[in-house]
């Protein structure tokens, strides 16, 4: 999509938000809503701050992920006012603000101070943001019932948001290609991270989350957080879970690549890939997301049997006895938007058989979700099964071998449409 079209969509997006927020404010009796962009907290006992990424509702309106100490005022029937912190400062630079059409739909003012602007005549005011940042601002801070309704405004993505998510996928897919090539060329986790950053043109601190780059057994730690500087002696597997932000919007993509000569692991990756595509095919309006999660367990059971990991137990028993949960311990996915785990996924708590599932709702057009089945060889989860009463059904030699490959996850970003779904990651060539 050309930039002009994207920018035109952003103006429509702001109009839609104005209507959605207005409805929520009036329903809760507020005359105005002041949104803080946030501020990076300082490290205790230090003069350095943590990396900064803006507060979700601020990004929902502006997409300005790196803009600290700024404020946005929303009032029913009035043009939003955005106070951007742009100090005269010889230590730090200010963010560039290219002239774009959205600035006709929002009144932009620049401030030199970090404190909220005076709101004396704003009437009954709700103020939302990190409690530490809004502490001194008069008004109701983070009122719970209003927040629930505001989170709901983020569930059904506007065409502008979908367009941003498309771009976030396209950019991340380039990074994943570079990462795979670097792994196959014998690169280390650190070199894979550099290749990903170079290809996406994004430093890691700006990404929606720190990339998860696990070579060999590291792929078996779900959120593996370190990088080996040296390449592996034998490159058996790569799991990379990495996204980018585009105008505030996140991609969240995982790919697993087997090393050369890893036939058994490669077959399992292929099996999980087929399962993942089937699960993506289930995404449609009216579908219970929990049903997709449960279907994943059936698929994992079938894969474990087909790979010779287990024998003499039928698929149903593998699911019912909790065996599949030891191999696939996380949820099938979550909402995606200006936060990687976007809000409002759980109107009800997760069911007992899926404690880590972050989304338990029925799918509707405009929702954007991830579909991310995994199959891992995690010693601490497998030990009770292998050493327990079912242990004799498992091929310990095969599991010991696969443990060296860590695990598999394959994750795409999928939009629910009026009659089915669009897989943004596959559309981007991922
Ligand atoms: N990247 C974290 C997740 O997939 O949820
Ligand atoms: Mn992910
Ligand atoms: Mn995810």
Kindly state if the Cβ of 210 falls inside 6 Å of ligand 1: no
Binding residue per annotation — 46?
no
Tell me which residue has its CA closest to atom 4 in ligand 1. 252
Residue in 240, 372, 414 to alter for ligand 1 test, most ligand atoms within 8 A of Cβ: 372
| Contact present, 408 and 324 (Cβ < 8 Å) | no
Question: Which pLDDT score is estimated for 1?
Answer: 83
Phi/psi of residue 215, nearest 5 degrees: -100, 140
Q: Which of 196, 194, 206, 197 is nearest to 246 (CA)?
A: 206
H-helix or E-strand containing 128?
strand 125-128
For 241, the token pair is: 């879970």
β-bridge mates for residue 127, sequence order: 34, 141
pLDDT given at position 120: 85
Query: Two tokens at 26?
Result: 């009036």
Ligand 1 binding pocket includes 411 (Cβ within 6 Å): yes
Atom of ligand 1 nearest to the CA of 254: 4
Q: Name residues whose C-beta falls within 8 Å of residue 41's C-beta, 6 or more positions apart in sequence.
A: 49, 50, 132
DSSP string, 153-210: TTTS--HHHHHHHHHHHHHHHHHHHHHHHHHHTT--HHHHHHHHHHHHT--GGGSSS-
H or E stretch covering 378: none
pLDDT in the model for residue 424: 99
**DSSP string across 216-233:** GGGGGSTT-----SSPPS
Q: Which atom of ligand 1 is nearest to the CA of 241?
A: 1
Bridge partners (DSSP) of residue 108 are: 82
Contact of 393 with 357, CB cutoff 8 Å: no
The per-residue pLDDT for 405 is: 98
Instruction: Judge whether 351 and 360 are in contact, CB under 8 Å.
Output: yes
Pairing of strands 245-246, 237-242: unpaired
Ligand 1 centroid to residue 382 C-alpha, Å: 22
Among 26, 22, 2, which Cα is nearest to 14's?
Answer: 22
Whether the CB-CB separation of 55 and 154 falls below 8 Å is answered with no
Q: What was the pLDDT predicted at 352?
A: 94
Global pTM reads 0.98
Sign of CA dihedral 335, 339, 341, 347: negative
pLDDT of residue 122: 85
User: In a mutational test of the pocket of ligand 1, which residue from 239, 368, 411 has the highest number of ligand atoms less than 8 Å from its CB?
Assistant: 411
Backbone angles phi, psi at 26, to 5 degrees: -65, -40
> Strand 368-371 relative to strand 81-85: parallel, antiparallel, unpaired?
unpaired
| Domains of the chain and CATH, by start | 3-152 (3.40.350.10), 159-427 (3.90.230.10)
Per-residue pLDDT tens, the chain, 430 aa: give them.
889 999 999 999 999 999 999 999 999 999 999 999 999 999 999 999 999 999 999 999 999 999 999 999 999 999 999 999 999 999 999 999 999 999 999 999 999 999 999 988 889 999 999 999 999 999 999 999 999 999 999 999 999 999 999 999 999 999 999 999 999 999 999 999 999 999 999 999 999 999 999 999 999 999 999 999 999 999 999 999 999 999 999 999 999 999 999 999 999 999 999 999 999 999 999 999 999 999 999 999 999 999 999 999 999 999 999 999 999 999 999 999 999 999 999 998 999 999 999 999 999 999 999 999 999 999 999 999 999 999 999 999 999 999 999 999 999 999 999 999 999 999 999 9
β pairing state of 412-416 and 368-371? antiparallel
Apex 122 CA angle, 126 and 248, nearest 5: 55
3-state secondary structure of 10: helix
Please tell me if the CB atom of residue 151 comes closer than 6 angstroms to any atom of ligand 1: no
**Nearest residue to 259 (alpha-carbon basis) of 240, 236, 232, 238:** 236
β partners of residue 55:
none
């Amino acid at each position: 999509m050309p930039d002009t079209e994207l920018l035109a969509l952003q103006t429509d997006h702001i109009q839609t938000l104005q209507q959605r927020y207005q409805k929520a404010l009036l329903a809760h009796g507020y005359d105005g809503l002041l949104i803080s962009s946030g501020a990076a907290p300082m490290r205790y006992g230090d003069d350095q701050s943590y990396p900064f990424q803006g507060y979700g509702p601020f990004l929902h309106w502006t997409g300005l992920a790196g803009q600290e100490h700024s404020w946005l005022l929303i009032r029913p029937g009035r043009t939003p006012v955005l106070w951007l912190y742009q100090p005269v400062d010889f230590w730090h630079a200010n963010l560039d603000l290219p002239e774009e059409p959205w600035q006709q739909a929002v009144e932009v003012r620049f401030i030199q101070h970090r404190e909220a602007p005076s709101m004396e005549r704003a009437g009954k005011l709700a103020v939302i943001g990190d409690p530490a940042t809004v502490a001194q601002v008069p008004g109701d801070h983070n009122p719970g019932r209003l927040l629930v309704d505001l989170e709901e405004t983020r569930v059904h993505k506007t065409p502008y948001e979908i367009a941003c998510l498309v771009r976030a996928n396209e950019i991340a897919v380039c990074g994943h290609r570079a990462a795979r090539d670097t792994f196959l060329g014998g690169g280390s986790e650190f070199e894979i991270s550099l290749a990903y950053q170079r290809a996406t043109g994004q430093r890691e601190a700006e990404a929606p989350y720190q990339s998860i780059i696990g070579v060999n057994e590291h792929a078996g730690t779900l959120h593996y957080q370190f990088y080996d500087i040296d390449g592996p002696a034998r490159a058996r597997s790569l799991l990379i879970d990495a996204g980018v932000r585009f105008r505030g919007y996140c991609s969240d993509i995982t790919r697993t690549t087997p090393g050369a000569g890893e036939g058994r692991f490669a077959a399992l990756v292929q099996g999980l890939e087929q399962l993942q595509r089937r699960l993506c095919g289930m995404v449609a309006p009216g579908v219970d997301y929990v049903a997709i999660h449960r279907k994943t367990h059936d698929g994992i059971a079938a894969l474990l049997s087909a790979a010779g990991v287990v024998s003499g137990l039928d698929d149903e028993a593998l699911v019912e006895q909790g065996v599949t949960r030891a191999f696939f311990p996380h949820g099938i996915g979550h909402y995606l938007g200006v936060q990687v785990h976007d809000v409002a996924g759980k109107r009800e708590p997760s069911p007992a058989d899926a404690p880590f599932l972050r989304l338990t709702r029925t799918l509707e057009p405009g929702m954007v979700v991830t579909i991310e089945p995994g199959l891992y060889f995690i010693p601490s989860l497998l030990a009770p099964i292998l050493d327990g009463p079912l242990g004799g059904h498992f091929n310990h030699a095969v599991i010991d071998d696969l443990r060296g490959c860590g695990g598999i996850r394959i994750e795409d970003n999928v939009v629910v449409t009026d009659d089915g779904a669009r897989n943004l990651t596959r559309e981007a060539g991922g």
